[in-house]
Amino acid sequence: MAKTILLTEFEYDFQLIGISSHAKDYRVSWELNKVFGIDLNKEDDVLFATKKGGNAVFSMYFYKNKEEEQDVRLISNKSNGRFLVSETKAADYFLILYDFNEYEAREMLVKIRKINVVLTAFEVDVSTLKSKENLLF
């Protein structure tokens, strides 16, 4: 019997900011809401089965700006010693910006760095990540 292989190519049409912070997810979300005047709301956690048989649970927050047609998603990168994106272990959280241009993303990055619970924030080039498919929701 002949095998058919399906190759898929996903689009990664978002800006990605890594955030390092010792604060809990709800505190980071609250600070982002306050600084940007948005309303990140808690969504269902993302559950990944691990190769060792356990589960990794990552918290997620979401905001949809209907006027600008832009979405913002905050997701944790760490869960019980496991990483959502293992290439970026310095990031405790990722801020995923959908339909933002590079200028808007950089302006947000500058403001995020000034938040007192944020240790550092940095731009992440999605194309260089091996596990970037973990960021598709």
For the stretch 18-51, pLDDT in tens is: 999 999 999 999 999 999 999 999 999 888 776 6
What pLDDT, in 10s, does the model give residues 55-70?
A: 889 999 999 998 888 9
Burial class of residue 136 (count of CB atoms within 10 Å of its CB; 0-12, 13-18, 19+) = exposed
Contacts with 129 (C-beta within 8 Å, 6 or more apart), sequence order: 85, 87, 88, 135
The dihedral through the CA atoms of 126, 132, 133, 135 has a sign that is negative
Average pLDDT over residues 87-114: 93
pLDDT of residue 50: 66
Rounded to the nearest integer, the mean pLDDT of the chain is 88
Q: Tokens 């979401």 identify what position?
A: 62
pLDDT band at 1 (very low <50, low <70, confident <90, very high): low
